[in-house]
Amino acid sequence: MAAARSIEIHILGRAYKVACTREEESALVSAADYLDDKMREIRDRGKVIGAERIAIMAGLNMAHDLLTKGGGGLVEEARDRVAHCNALLDAVLEDQDKLF
């Protein structure tokens, strides 16, 4: 098992040190970026003040999306990314056929 190490993530302009393995780092950074985006959306609407309240609202919104929409748009985003990757692969494979 890989040893945990400390990485720095940023949420609402504040830096946090978090322990994770090298294998988990990419997923953790993505999760932190997603949380940061959601918290910034709430803050920018101006109806909720204070980092703690913004974090609670973001957590509630994400939990609601997960429980009611099966991922809150993450599934659709993943499908879009996979479709984009498939299109890129199709283009590359088509060009490769021309080489032979």
The predicted model gives 59-70 an average pLDDT of 82
Confidence of residue 44 (pLDDT cuts 50, 70, 90): very high
Q: What percent of the chain has pLDDT over 70?
A: 88
Secondary structure (3-state) at 16: strand
Of 19 and 82, which is predicted with more confidence?
A: 19
Two tokens at 49?
A: 């003040």
CB 5 within 8 A of CB 28: no
Spans of all domains in the chain: 1-69, 72-100
Residue-wise pLDDT for 14-30, tens only, equals 999 999 899 999 999 99
Best CA proximity match to 59, nearest among 94, 24, 35: 35
Pick the CATH number of 1-69 from 2.60.420.10, 3.30.160.880, 3.40.630.30, 3.60.20.10: 3.30.160.880
